[in-house]
Homo-oligomer: A and B are copies of this chain.
Amino acid sequence: MAKPYVIGIDMGGTNTVFGIVDARGNVIASNSIKTAKHSDFNDYIDELHTELSRLIKEAGAEDKINGIGIGAPNGNYYTGLIDQAPNLPWPSPIPLAEMVTKKFGIPCLITNDANAAAIGEMTYGVARGMKDFIMITLGTGVGSGIVVNGQMVYGHDGFAGELGHVIVKRSNGRQCGCGRTGCLEAYCSATGVARTAREFLELRKEPSKLRDYDVETITSKDVYDCAIAGDQLAKEIFEYTGTILGEALADFTAFSSPEAFVLFGGLTKSGDLIMNPVKEAFDRNVLGIYKGKVKILISELKESDAAVLGASALGWEVKE
């Protein structure tokens, strides 16, 4: 029989957040450490072990942990390795699953952060009961986790679901962090919104509250603040962003015909400013046979919990 708790770990470039989660998806205890503090990966694992052991002891959960799940940048479910993660301070590949399993004496599975979010959504969120949906994470970058027939799509090499790197502008596209041009991520991430703001401010002449900001350091939050205050140019930036995202989601539908897209991350806080153009562009562009069948939802999981919850769900999948 499964033990009553699992551990979820969300490993980000800056912070690593971890929590103890029960079978109902309650985070009964959580804490965090600084990821980037340790130049040696072994030191990082040592601190993670010390802090997690303390948390487990305080919660009275010793010997009650079924498994550990980790969401990590470019974490590979099949190999247990982190590979080519641009935001982590250590050389790749990192045998994360194996090292954690050994250090804690508890079986560990890893996946990438967007897949972890999708698993969280399927287990505890708005996608409960859905067998086919696509999670889109709209943060600094754009990530995705795809569920088909009730299963995560990992692909033959464990790296499926990089929809942030589908090309949405074939010619004259923006440079993307991946080295190519025109990726969805270059337009529909938080940084993409800031880039659109810079472009619009340069190319257009009308007055805008956005002109009070330093154009070099403007953020998607600034654009949001101005749009909420009624600024027309700021609203158009969200329309531009949402339209590109809606067109992309329409194309993605032709792949797996999902019951829903679940959007997650900072940009979804902009609410109708982004969701209205997304839905309008989706309806205008989706193939007839899918019309009116696909929901576009915003995740209802608390952002601070979602990544930990999602990762923790892998802790129920482990085999001893």
Contact = CB atoms under 8 A, between A and B. Distances in A.
A296 to B, nearest CB: 14
A83 B167 CA distance: 31
A214 interface: no
Within the oligomer, what is the number of copies of this chain?
Answer: 2
A253 to B, nearest CB: 8
Contact of A247 (B158, B170, B258): B170
A178 B257 contact: no
A285 interface: yes
A97 interface: no
Interface string A150-170: 010111111111110111111
Contacts of A293: 156-157
Contacts of A84: 288-289
A131 B151 CA distance: 14
Contact of A160 (B168, B179, B251, B257): B257
A151 B153 contact: no
Contact of A287 (B132, B158, B162, B290): B162
Contact of A254 (B158, B163, B289): B163
Given A146-B256, A254-B165, A255-B161, A287 B155 contact: no
Nearest to A134: B255
